[in-house]
């Protein structure tokens, strides 16, 4: 039952997706791959599309995966499923907001868990990148030149902060430039 | 209130690239500075909660603000506004993408784009590590997590659960000793 599978997978991603978009990628990657909904190459392509279109990356992936796996209703269901855990958890937090802030502020169990999750999330993002370093995505040495240049321009504003480095570090610009480079090199 | 929140989030959702984090300053300007629906302090608490809770940050913040400003209707309006633009845009792309990708020019472009995407995922790691105030010792946590997932093919869900359980056990031992 494809609909049930989609629902469960994206519910799980919404429930365990700590740390925002990039951290969620490794969860989506695992679900999509183990269910055979997409190849790794397709996954990278949709991440690229997500980077150049507006909106949260999780919603973009859910919609796209749902659509390719089971058409329009698949995309509706997957998007709903990734949002549902947030609805349940955030509404509970809202209802208990004052109680929660009193109870959990300065609570060592709560604060240490959040702190450790932040460390783990860094590992999750790293794994998402490591899994994608494969011959299907890195076809020759030019791929590595593109990889290093994009990484360089992304990190550059942390070292030299000015208008030019800010513009050059923009992910959309970098994707468009890589696309143009790819067009001229591989066509 | 449904339409006001729907419209606010739709506007922000349609014109922000870069996901949840990029949306936050725009949401703040609209909700705190312009409309005055909630004050600055509550907004900052909201961001902390939206980040601590699992799920998408944009959606979490929409739920919180929707609830504070307009109850159930507010939640419905804000969440729909946050989700609908990306849903519709991706749906439109998904219907043509498979055919479109067969084009040799597009395929060539994507050959250049794929390594760039991997770099865009990897590059923010430095910033994330700095923001989390990571030390040489705690650096072992993300390294272990990444290796388990990458080489051990462990589902990230288990890594997250293990982090929560191990932390709670250690904190519990420390707290008991202290007493």
Asked if B83 and A59 come within 8 Å (Cβ–Cβ), the reply is yes
Q: b/e map of A28-47 (b: 16 or more CB within 10 Å)?
A: bbbbbeeeebbebbbbbbbb
Its pTM stands at 0.86
Lowest mean pLDDT among A85-89, A100-104, B66-70, B89-93: A100-104
From chain B, pick out residues whose CB is under 8 angstroms from the CB of A91. 63, 67, 75
Q: What is the number of other CB atoms lying within 10 angstroms of the CB of residue B171?
A: 18
User: How many Cα atoms are found within 13 Å in the side-chain-facing hemisphere of B76?
Assistant: 6
Q: Which of B166, B157, B172, B154 is nearest to A85 (CA)?
A: B157
Residues 159 to 178 of B: which have CB under 8 A from any A CB? Answer: 159-161, 163-164, 166-168, 170-172, 174-175
Encoded tokens for A152: 């360089």
Per-residue pLDDT of chain A (187 residues; tens, 9 = 90+): 899 999 999 999 999 988 777 888 889 988 988 898 988 888 899 888 888 888 888 899 999 999 999 999 999 999 999 999 999 998 888 888 777 777 777 788 888 888 898 899 899 989 989 998 989 899 999 999 999 999 999 888 888 888 888 888 888 889 999 999 999 999 8
Distance CA B95, CA B86 (A): 14
Which of A61-70, B20-29, B36-45 is the most confident on average? A61-70
Chain A 132-171, CB below 8 Å of chain B: which residues? 132-133, 137-139, 142-144, 146-148, 150-151, 154-155, 158, 171
Residues on chain A touching B90 (C-beta within 8 angstroms) = 49-50, 53, 55, 59-60, 63-64, 67, 75
C-beta atoms of B19 and A125 within 8 A: no
Distance between CA B45 and CA B32 in Å, rounded? 13
Least CB-CB distance to B108: which of A108, A175, A183? A183
How many pairs of residues across A and B have Cβ atoms under 8 Å apart?
349
- What torsion, rounded to 10 degrees, do the Cα atoms B141, A81, A110, B44 define? 100
Which tens digit of pLDDT belongs to each residue from B98-134? 788 889 999 999 999 999 999 988 988 888 888 888 8
pLDDT band of residue B57 (cuts 50, 70, 90) is confident
For residue B126, give the nearest of A57, A58, A155 by CB distance.
A155
């Amino acid at each position: 039952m494809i609909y049930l599978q989609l629902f469960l997978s994206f519910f799980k991603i919404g429930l365990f997706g700590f740390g925002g978009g990039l951290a969620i990628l490794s969860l989506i990657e695992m679900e999509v791959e183990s269910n055979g909904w997409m190849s790794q190459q397709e996954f990278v392509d949709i991440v690229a599309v997500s980077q150049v279109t507006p909106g949260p990356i999780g919603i973009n992936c859910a919609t796209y995966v749902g659509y390719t796996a089971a058409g329009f209703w698949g995309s509706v269901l997957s998007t709903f499923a990734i949002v549902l855990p947030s609805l349940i958890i955030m509404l509970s937090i809202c209802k208990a907001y004052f109680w929660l802030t009193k109870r959990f502020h300065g609570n060592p169990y709560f604060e240490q868990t959040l702190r450790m999750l932040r460390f783990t999330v860094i590992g999750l993002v790293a794994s998402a990148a490591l899994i994608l370093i494969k011959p299907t995505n890195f076809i020759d040495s030019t791929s590595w030149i593109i990889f290093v240049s994009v990484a360089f321009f992304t990190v550059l504003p942390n070292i030299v902060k000015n208008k030019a480095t800010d513009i050059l570090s923009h992910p959309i610009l970098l994707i468009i430039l890589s696309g143009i480079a790819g067009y001229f090199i591989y066509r | 209130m449904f339409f006001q929140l729907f419209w606010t989030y739709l506007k922000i959702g349609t014109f922000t690239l870069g996901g949840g984090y990029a949306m936050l300053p725009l949401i703040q300007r609209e909700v705190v500075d312009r409309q005055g629906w909630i004050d600055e302090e509550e907004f900052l608490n909201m961001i902390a909660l939206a980040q601590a809770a699992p799920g998408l940050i944009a959606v979490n913040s929409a739920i919180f603000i929707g609830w504070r400003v307009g109850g159930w209707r507010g939640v419905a309006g804000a969440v729909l506004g946050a989700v609908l633009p990306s849903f519709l845009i991706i749906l439109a792309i998904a219907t043509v993408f498979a055919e479109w990708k067969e084009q040799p020019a597009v395929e060539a472009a994507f050959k250049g784009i794929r390594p760039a995407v991997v770099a865009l995922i990897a590059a923010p790691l430095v910033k994330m590590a700095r923001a989390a105030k990571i030390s040489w010792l705690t650096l072992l946590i993300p390294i272990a997590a990444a290796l388990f997932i990458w080489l051990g093919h462990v589902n990230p869900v288990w890594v997250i659960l293990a982090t929560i359980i191990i932390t709670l056990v250690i904190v519990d031992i420390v707290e008991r000793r202290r007493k």
